[in-house]
Chain A
Amino acid sequence: MRHLTRVLTVGSIVLISMTAPVRGQHSAQIEPEAVSVLTEMGRYLRSLKAFQVEAVTTREDVLEDGQKVQFAGVTRMLARMPDRLHIAVDSDRHHREFFYDGTNFTLLATRTNLYATVPAPPTIGALADTLDDRYAVDLPLQDLFRWGGPQSTHDAVTSAMVIGPSEIGGVTCGHYAFRQDGLDWQVWIQMGDYPLPRKVVLTTTNDEARPQYVATFTWNLAPSFNDAAFTFVPPKGAGRVVLSDLKK
């Protein structure tokens, strides 16, 4: 009888310890296909010499009491790697233009007709870092420059899932969902020869209201342009001011 009790006890412990990990397993699961497609997308983005992309975006602010408000916008970007960039942001709250010519960075607030120019590092990636660290400026669509490069934070991912095929902008994409600390995000990656991101949804998880950012992309991989596109010329009557400098 005592032998039977012991067997039953040991047996139950073994069974319980076998089932316990299964419940927790999904949230910490990295599906290799999701990671490899993401890696392929990054590699492809880093191989582009120049591109033009238009992103239709919505973002959310969370008010003090948890109420959320949503804002929409369109961001148009022209980039020539590694050191030429022009971005125009038209949102329902503000209009901005960003100019980078390899030496200087200028931010233009179109409606108030104010601009600020600062010296800039030699690459777009380093510029994004400087703007993050030193000035209160988020370079729009900076993921398009970080994925597949040394600044990519793909090791931060704790869960990677394949959701399935999905059509975005008339194009079949693979839909993938990722989790990392403070952020759940999804990306729709075009299937076929051009593994471009066609849509992203970023859900911030370190605020219980979970504000979301959504962007849908339209790409032109053969843009025509010249260097004047990246050169800032102050509009008539524009006032020169400063960037909000976090170091001061």
Chain B
Amino acid sequence: MTTQMTMAITRILRVALALFLMLAITEVSALAQRGRANVRSSSRSSVNTHAASNVNRNTNVNRNVNVNQNVNRNIDVDRDIDVDVDYDGCCYRGGWGTAAAVATTAAVTAAVVGSMVYSLPPSCTVVMVNGLSYQQCGNVWYQPQLTGSSTTYLVVNPPQ
């Protein structure tokens, strides 16, 4: 094969690869978008509900102040298993059975103290302060909060 042919083939391959990557990224972010399905209600699991309780408890729905800010923050699959396997709660992430492994370049918006999120940004470390475990991600501090079926993260001021 001549050098010119090789160069032409290489150029074609490069273009094809770029196109493929573009498609892959749009596909994945589309999947990620679709995967964020909000739950409007759940089946009641007890007959004798305490009178004062919120029967169809959707506390998570109302507290999702900033959850949409995490839409494009595709945490890679392994990270999911390590950090937050409590997928339950209001929103299902990444679609069922899909590996949303490619991070998009969407900007990470600053989290407001008092807001509640379902997933952590990448690069967090666990820090113990006064016997409680926090997640520090850059200069944003998250306090994990347990509910019966999910773990949410409350953005807090750096604990003393």
Contacts and interface: CB of A to CB of B under 8 A. Distances in A.
Interface of A: 57, 59-64, 67, 69, 71, 91, 93-94, 96, 107, 109, 111-112, 114-116, 128-129, 131-133, 135-143, 146-147, 151-153, 178, 180, 182-183, 185, 200, 202-204, 206-207, 209, 211-213, 215, 239-246
Contacts of A60: 42-43
Contact of B149 (A62, A96, A115): A96
A128 B42 contact: no
Name the residue in B37, B42, B57, B133 with the highest tally of chain A Cβ atoms < 10 Å from its Cβ. Answer: B42
A112 B86 contact: yes
A132 B50 contact: yes
Contacts of A209: 41
B79 to A, nearest CB: 13
A109 B151 contact: yes
Name the residue in B38, B84, B86 with the highest tally of chain A Cβ atoms < 10 Å from its Cβ. Answer: B86
23 contacts: A59-B43, A61-B43, A62-B39, A62-B42, A63-B37, A64-B39, A109-B86, A112-B85, A112-B144, A133-B50, A136-B59, A137-B146, A138-B148, A138-B149, A153-B49, A153-B51, A180-B47, A202-B43, A215-B45, A239-B144, A240-B132, A241-B146, A242-B145
Interface string B59-91: 110000000000000000000000111111000
Contacts, number: 166
